[in-house]
Amino acid sequence: MLERDLQSFIEYLVIERGLARNTAAAYGSDLRDFIAFLEENDIHSFQGVDREMILDYLDGECEKGRESTTLARRLVSIKMLFRYLASEGRIPTDITEVMDSPKLWRILPDFLSEDEVDRFLKAFSSSGRDPLELRNRTMLELLYASGLRVSELAQLPLTAVDMDNELLRVTGKGNKTRIVPVGKTALRLLRRYLTEARPELLGENMLEPHVFLSKNGRVLNREWIWKIVKEAALRAGIPKNIHPHTLRHSFASHLLAHGADLRVIQEMLGHADISTTEIYTHIDRNRLQALHHKFHPRG
């Protein structure tokens, strides 16, 4: 069904919009990459797509090191497709209509300095009795301490937490499970959240299996976590365009800067291919070059 709708869209571009076959084929190429992502996540109809999936796809492409122009073009292609499908009545509404412009996707992998991370993580208090503050602080600590994808954090089940061995069993892309260590600070906050804050949020949803819950006791979705990250950046006074993957990038970049082996980082991030992880060597090289130019007398 995905391929059928895509072929219909390409024909529409050529016949009704008058685009050259090569131009329409270029849109098709971008969209087939998106379709491959959907099929990997067991989505076989555009009616089953929501904004979170589109954001996850673009974040994943960013993580692979796609150029910002490529990300912008792919978002445009997706928006054109969904506008067409909605106009044809093949989907009930155009879910991309309210998404930001392609300028949002100038998100080549960026990361925070260690000082910025410290300010960012302290944006939410862990000392008071507000369960939402403690929840938010714990989520941010875990994102940075363990390099989780935001979708992995949102779907993290209670059974994934191994306090005794200080690790998480995370199910990532392709239903693959990996073992991820948890830092002392994140573990201490997670223990407090589970014993103090989560019972308050749980309410009557006693069988809810996920770790992180809304104030109504329901599992948090990706867009809510995105908003929490944005609020933390605002509170911390950090002007960078921070999104949930920024903490994952920071996790990997800081490990590399402190001498961690690239293969170890690959395993912790859950990358199937080492070439995906190698983007962080480019980031680190750029940082070192910038420092050299700034501080060396002949830089």
Instruction: List the catalytic residues.
Output: 149, 173, 245, 248, 271, 280
The residues, any chain, with a CB within 8 Å of residue 245's CB and separated by 6 or more, are 59, 62, 63, 107, 109, 149, 150
Cα–Cα–Cα angle for 133, 135, 136, rounded to 5 degrees: 65
Coil, helix or strand at residue 141: helix
What DSSP assignment string belongs to 114-127?
A: HHHHHHHHTTS-SS
- Are the C-beta atoms of residues 267 and 146 closer than 8 Å to each other? no
Residue whose entry in the numeric block shows the structure tokens 């060396």: 296
How far, CA to CA in Å, does 134 sit from each of 46, 128, 251, 254, 291? 37, 8, 21, 25, 36
